[in-house]
Structure 1
Amino acid sequence: MSKSLATWFTPSLQTISRSAGRSAVAAAAYRACVKLVDQTTGLIHDYTKKKGHVETILIGADDISELWNRAEAAENRKNSTVARELMLPLPDEWTNDERRECVRDIAQHLRDKYGVAVAASLHAPNKHHRNNHAHMMFTTRTVDIDGTFGKKTRILDDMKTGEVKNLREAVCKIVNDHAEKLGSDFYVYAGKFADKIEGHIPTKHIPIQAGKEYRAAITAQNTQVKIHLANVATHKEKEKQLEAELLKAELSNALNLDATESTPSPDTPKSVEVKRVEPIPPAELENPFKRKLMPEACEKAYFKHQETLKKQQELKVIEEKWRAKHDELLKNKPNSTQRLFAKIGLGTTKIERYDEELSKTEITLSKIEQVKKSHKKILSDKNALNLIAQYNAIIDHNAEVSEAELKAKIAHAAKLERERELAEEQARQLSELENQRDWTIGLDPTENSNHTPQSISNSFSIS
């Protein structure tokens, strides 16, 4: 497969659920960078100042606010799943128009296959020109041409149905079709590299929020993995060439031996029998250095660090939601006159509700700050960072060991080939010496000085 491994990915599917404190209206506003009012709660979600939005494509709906407010209204339970989201990385080398057409086709597939309405928001890359992607939110219920919500698409709720796998494969096919049409080497696959490439070593994912040093370390490690994979491919190709040459030489030797045995010359003396040189079996190769076992503490530190980075990103989204709510409350803060009237019983309920909401928001933000400090403490722990550095060093070391082992095997095979060629050359020289021997040596020249070739021949004949 000639596709670039660096561009493979597995499209991820997630849900937006009330049980997690999420809202379809808030999520849609954040992804589309617009201002939406949640008609169920009255909250205003304003993300118009957020940067990075390119375009939002609607399929099966005409208005983004109406779509997601209807989606919220269609659900009655407090733990309902109100939307699904397909996260779709896109090729950085494609143009906006090329990415748009690809996303539009995927959105249309969701509409045609499941009858849902889709809002696909394309996001621009960061300042380093990386991470072109699209957030494809779609309803959990079918939506007809009039915008009426119908039954739940439960086929995507149960992983046992295999439909999520089918969806990922369909998305991959659409992306790959567009890549082929554009002559791009971008290739996506809904499984693992190991399913397609034997002995593949996966590169590490770099979180979008990763710091400069962490990104540089993982990038260096991924570069080493790619170099190792390229070297392995080169060595495998050389190994195939050596095997083909050995086979060709063995066949040639076998044909030469057969021809010599089947058509012997009657007057040619027999040469010294030369035994066929067999390849020497590979000896036990000495490894220049040994593999290192990964300490359990290093694995735990690495995966805890990765999990904390993920939680930190999730917490950031939650914090933005609560800070937006807090800012909105402060904008509508009751003035001193309203509070004065509240003391005499006028508008008391409204003031109490406001104070309760403000207190709840401030308490939540305070808890978020505590969790953020906890995350920061975990991510800056020197012992953990040392263990992570050790983890990465062991990964690099073991990759170098694998490369050294492969080089040793190639060198050993080349040595065996040289030994075989030397043995064959020696056998050829012996054969030539036998053919050049003077068989008249030993005859008495005084016995018959006028021997003709015919008489010499007769002297060897048997009466």
Structure 2
Amino acid sequence: MSKSLATWFTPSLQTISRSAGRSAVAAAAYRACVKLIDQTTGLIHDYTRKRGHVATVLIGASDISELWNRAEAAENRKNSTVARELMLPLPDQWSDNERRACVRDIAQHLRNTYGVAVAGSIHAPNKKHRNNHVHMMFTTRTVDEFGNFGKKTRILDDMKTGEVSRLREAVCKIVNDHAEKLGSDFYVYAGKFVDIDKNHIPTKHIPIQASKDYRNAIEAQNKQVKAHRDAVAAHEKKAEQLEADKMELETELFKAELSNALNLESSESTPAPKAPKTVDVKRVEATPPAELESPLKRKLVPKACEKAYFKRQETLKKQQALKVIEDKWRAKHDELLANKPSSTQRLFSKIGLGTAKIERYDAELSKTEIHLTKIEHNKTLFKKILSDKNALNLIAQYNAVIDHNASISDLEAQAFKAHSEKLERERELAEEQARQLFEPQLDWTADCDPTKEQNYRSKDIELGR
């Protein structure tokens, strides 16, 4: 096929569990190449010297250290699963910004679908400029807009639910949509490539820990496979060309035989008894034109447009609710600042006077500032959702369909009103005709005397009138 097939780095979701001696904080520090302190154990995980990190995309959280320390604190069992990870290939020919945009959409899909917080760490390729990929770490519990951890996402625990397959298919669609928009032939598929290309010949995967000799052997084998692929593709192309040439030759022979038959009929003055007088040519019926869509027909609202519209409405409601919460915390923050302890009070607190009061104040102020920071993060998130151009285009299509159907309803109402008025006029006309038909006619000769009329006529004759 014409697309450049890419394989999954991992065929299924991986979990980060305490039973295997792993830590979400350590895993996040390693993948993001940062220094994190595990507040549960006090261990310091410093990977700032590690190379290969490009960027980290956070969705549902604003601080990577706070996110994974709270994820660890949310679990109280020694064998708890504290995080999940999905590792995905990214196109080598894309730029860092293009890869970052794709990773952000995947992280947002995980957030919207399962309500989890996501940290996507994009890693650079190796020395040969290959193997661009991203580590998608996300929480095993739901995380609300304020960073509070909720229930476990059990739907991703069991392979029997089929949710893992649906997740991989959704992620593949996001990556392929980005590739299509960028004009790239990069293509990922959650299943076997033989399902979409029956002639596909797979190459062998090279493990990371493979030795130099083993790697060279597999690379040589894969080169032979790729060469065989090219040969098969060339043979298929040649076969298609031969088939096209065959069809063209058969068409030319048919035209020649038809022309000879027509010429033979015109040259003979007396046709042979068994010679055909006409050539029977199969009649080809004209294809009827496609039925034009009536402008007075109602349209169905596309699912994507309806989803984008209701998502925007829901986001607007959340934005309004967030405004109420923000006003509350702003008022509390202003009240704390108005009652800020003086330098003298803080000086006395150092020698033990009023220490508890100062500590309570500092704790309340810190808590208020944390909430205001989260509120600002959510405001930025809502603003991004509301300004998404793709969603705005879908909503414009939704409104256009609704307006179209409303105009159809108005036209139907006008037509019904006109039809009712016409029926009313016809009814009145029929009543008028019936009244004229059955109304008694006046006899203007009813009061005349026939004898008098005869006498008048006799006098007229006598007088010569």
> What is the deviation of 1:127?
2.3
Q: What is the CA deviation profile of residues 233-261 of structure 1, one whole-angstrom value per residue up to 9, with x for unaligned ones?
A: 11112112223333443454456556656
Give the structure 2 partner of residue 135 of structure 1.
135
CA gap of 1:94–1:260, structure 2 versus 1, over 3 A, is closer
> Please, what TM-score do these two structures have when normalized by structure 1?
0.54
Residues 267 and 10 of structure 1: CA distance in aligned 2, closer, same or farther (over 3 Å): farther
Give, as a single letter, the amino acid of the residue that structure 2 aligns with 1:141: R
Give the superposition deviation at 1:195.
Answer: 0.6
Matched, 1:147 2:147: yes
1:3-39: CA deviations, max 9, x gaps?
A: 123x344664211112222111111111112222222
- Give unmatched runs, 5+ long, in structure 1: 271-463
1:48 aligned counterpart, secondary structure: coil
Specify the alignment match of 2:44 in structure 1: 44
Match of 1:217 in 2: 217
Equivalent AA in structure 2 for residue 92 of structure 1: D
Which residue of the partner structure matches residue 59 of structure 1? 59
Code of the residue aligned with 2:166 in structure 1: it is N
- Residues 73 and 247 of structure 1, relative CA distance in 2, 3 Å threshold: same
Is 2:8–2:88's contact at 8 Å kept on the other side of the alignment?
no
Specify the alignment match of 1:111 in structure 2: 111
Letter aligned with residue 223 of structure 2: T
Instruction: Name 2:181's counterpart in structure 1.
Output: 181
**2:236 is matched with which residue?**
236
Map of 2:207 onto structure 1: 207
Match of residue 69 from structure 2: 69
Cα distance change of structure 1 residues 130 and 251 upon mapping to structure 2, 3 Å threshold: closer
Give the secondary structure class of the aligned counterpart of 2:206.
coil
Question: How many pairs were matched up?
Answer: 269
1:143 deviation in Å?
A: 0.3
Deviations 1:291-341 (A, max 9, x none): xxxxxxxxxxxxxxxxxxxxxxxxxxxxxxxxxxxxxxxxxxxxxxxxxxx
Partners of 1:33 and 1:47 within 8 A in 2: yes
Return the offset for 1:131. 1.6
* Corresponding residue for residue 166 of structure 2: 166
The aligned residue for residue 460 of structure 1 is: none
User: CA separation in 2, counterparts of 1:245 and 1:3?
Assistant: 27
The higher relative CO (CA closer than 8 Å, separation ≥ 6) is in 1
Q: Distance in 1 between matches of 2:256 and 2:95?
A: 62
Counterpart CA distance in 2 for 1:248 and 1:255 is: 11
Contact 1:11–1:190 (Cα < 8 Å) also in 2: no
Aligned to 1:20: 20
Aligned 8 A contact 1:16 1:82 in 2: yes
Give yes or no for contact 2:88–2:134 (8 Å, CA) kept in 1. Answer: yes
Aligned residues of 1:10 and 1:190 also touching (Cα < 8 A) = no
In 2 relative to 1, CA 29–259 (structure 1 residues): closer, same or farther, beyond 3 Å? same
- 1:343 corresponds in structure 2 to none
Report the Cα distance in structure 2 between the residues aligned to 1:69 and 1:113, rounded to whole angstroms: 23
Give secondary structure in 1 for the equivalent of 2:14. strand
Distance in 1 of aligned mates of 2:261 and 2:97: 73
Deviations 1:389-412 (A, max 9, x none): xxxxxxxxxxxxxxxxxxxxxxxx
Is contact 1:88–1:135 with CA below 8 Å preserved after alignment?
yes
* TM-score, normalised via structure 2 length: 0.54
Indicate the residue corresponding to 1:102 in structure 2. Answer: 102
Task: Encode CA deviations 1:406-451: one digit per residue, 9 max, x unaligned.
Answer: xxxxxxxxxxxxxxxxxxxxxxxxxxxxxxxxxxxxxxxxxxxxxx
Q: Is the 8 A contact 1:11 1:89 kept in 2?
A: no
Q: Where does residue 194 of structure 2 map in the other structure? A: 194
Larger Rg: 2
Q: Is the CA contact 1:37–1:43 (under 8 Å) kept in the aligned structure 2?
A: yes
Cα distance in structure 1, aligned partners of 2:173 and 2:91: 15
1:106-133 CA distance string (max 9 Å, x none): 1111111111001111112222222221
Query: 2: CA distance between counterparts of 1:204 and 1:95?
Result: 27
